[in-house]
Amino acid sequence: MKMHISRDKLRRDIRQDVGLDTDAGIPIQDTGMLKLFVDSKDTRVGEKILQTETVELKHAFGTLIRQLRRERGLNIETLAAKLTIQVEELRAIEHDPNLDPRPRTIHKLAQFFKLPALELMKLSGVAETHDHSFSDQALKFAASSDDLSSLSKKERAILHAFVKFLSSQK
C-alpha cells in the first residue's frame, strides 16, 4: 500500500500529540467478526474436510448468484456493470468454487440482491462457519439446482426458500 501523507507533514503534526492518548478498539473478546473464525481446536477436526466443505459452500454461493441473476433476467455483463465489477470476476464467482471473492464484491452482491452480507460471506468462504444447519441448507440448495437457461417453477421455489433461509440468519 501507499501512504498518502508526506513524511514532513506527519513529522510536523505529531508534535501536536504530545501527552494525548490515541488507543482505540474494543477488547478482542467482543469483536464479533473474529468469533466467526475457526479456532485451533476446530481445525484439528480435519483440514481436508473443511476445505471440501468450503468448496461445496462456494459452489452453492455461485449457484445462488447465478440463479438470482437469471431470475432478474440479467446477463453477466449487465449485472457486472450494475455492480461496477469486472465481468471476469462475476463469471468466476458463478463458476469457480476455488475463487476467493473480494469482500467488497460480496457486499455489492448483498446490497443488490437484498441479502445479509454476513451470510453471503460465510457462503463464499470469506468468513468460516461451523453451523451445520447452515451448511446443510446451502448444500441441499446447490444439489437441487441445475443450470437451465431459465428457472423452472421448482427451481424458483427452491431458490426462494434458500433466500428466505439466508435472510432469517442472524
Partner 1 sequence: MKSLIGVYDLFNRQTNAYEDASLFEGIDEKNLQDFETHWIPLFHEAKPDEITRETILAANMEDAGWEWRKVESDIRDKKLLYEIFALECAGITQGLMLVNKLYSGKHPEHEGEYLIYVELVATAPWNRDRLVPSPVYSGVGRTLISTAISLSIDEEFKGRIGLHSLLGAETFYTNIGMTDLGKDEKKNGLRYFEMTEESATAFLKG
Closest to partner 1 by CB, 18 or 49: 18
Which CB, 25 or 73, lies closer to partner 1? 25
Instruction: Tell me how far apart the alpha carbons of residues 62 and 97 are, in angstroms, rounded to a whole number.
Output: 7
- Regarding 19 and contact with partner 1 (CB under 8 A), the answer is yes
Smallest separation (angstroms) from partner 1 to the CB of 10 = 6
The amino acid sitting at 7 is R
Query: DSSP string covering 90-149, please?
Result: HHHHHH-TT----HHHHHHHHHHHT--HHHHHHHHTSS----HHHHHHHHHHHHT----S
| 40 part of the interface to partner 1, by CB under 8 A | yes
Nearer to partner 1, 84 or 150 (CB): 84
18 Cβ neighbours under 8 A, 6+ residues apart: none
**Residues 53, 156: Cα–Cα separation, whole Å:** 25
Determine the size of the site formed for partner 1 (CB under 8 A). Answer: 39
Residue 114 in contact with partner 1, rule: CB under 8 A: no
Which residues are near partner 1 by CB under 8 A?
Answer: 1-5, 7, 9-11, 13-31, 33-34, 37, 40, 100, 102-104, 107, 126-127
